[in-house]
Structure 1
């Protein structure tokens, strides 16, 4: 398997993860997000087959978006002089695995790889958290992969904002 960054010249013939919105994004929207510098999309391929993809964009974890007890826990991990009203994050904007590669644990392997890649990367911008607006049905997957919810309930009935502290990988 190979990790490839989507470019304007990348040809994606087909993809079906079972979710119309996620399929539509990779087939029709990902290149526009790239050209407008909204998100970078990465493909995991197996030969000619698109196994999975994920999109990354900038984000923040803010006091206004977190439950009080969650915010207190997050702030405790920073020295007092570094207490801010928000902290930098990278958002996992989209994450989908082809139906042909389901039920073999590849989703967790990709998530582990992504977290380590971000943890070890020397990028141009620092961040502390990995966030995701998880579909309600995907919350158990993200919880198994170390993500926590920012708020117990949100206005959006379809998703929950979740976060992963990238520095927790330093303990591994």
Structure 2
């Protein structure tokens, strides 16, 4: 039975492993942008994140094994002459290990983010997803996420000057 809860210090290795899996998927799809890695963040950085008030790491645990993670950040957008101020949740990372995919776990994470937003009186959740990640795009659209902006890129294939 899946249990969604906040990450603890002892979850570091399992969380780092999932973050590496997510990152290296991006590397496989876009190696000109991403580097292949063996570790996503140091234990010290993880420890600091757990004490950060604006960041939360949610884990999905099944049979005492971390099977997925969702890292969110609460951001305050200040009012300017052009935009209203608002609080927003930014989903920075969301991933489920390969063997536990297609079981609704990622959707449960998104539901948990909704609950956190309601508890904190935040009505805006945002994330970025790479265009090649069709599986994730399908998940987000199924969960009522909509395009707000698009970032377009043109590759020129010039040699790097260095």
TM-score by length of 2: 0.62
The count of residues paired between Structure 1 and Structure 2 equals 133
Give the corresponding residue for 1:6: 7
Give the corresponding residue for 2:32: none
Query: The residue matched to 1:19 in structure 2 has which SS?
Result: helix
Give the corresponding residue for 1:118: 116
CA contact (8 A) 1:61 1:129 kept: no
CA contact (8 A) 2:55 2:72 kept: yes
TM-superposed CA distance for 1:32, in Å, is: 3.3
TM-score by length of 1: 0.59
CA distance in 1, matches of 2:54, 2:108: 26
Q: 1:129 to 1:19 in 2, by over 3 A?
A: same
From 20, 25, 37, the equivalent of 2:23 is 20
Unaligned runs of 5+ residues in structure 2 are 26-37, 155-162
Give the corresponding residue for 2:128: 133
Residue deviations 1:33-85, cap 9 Å, x none?
A: 23454522111111221111111212357999xxxxxxxxxxxxxxxxxx953
TM-superposed CA distance for 1:111, in Å, is: 1.9
Give the corresponding residue for 1:154: 151
TM-superposed CA distance for 1:95, in Å, is: 0.9
CA contact (8 A) 2:4 2:58 kept: yes
Query: The residue matched to 2:90 in structure 1 has which SS?
Result: strand
From 143, 146, 151, the equivalent of 1:145 is 143
Unaligned runs of 5+ residues in structure 1 are 65-82, 158-172
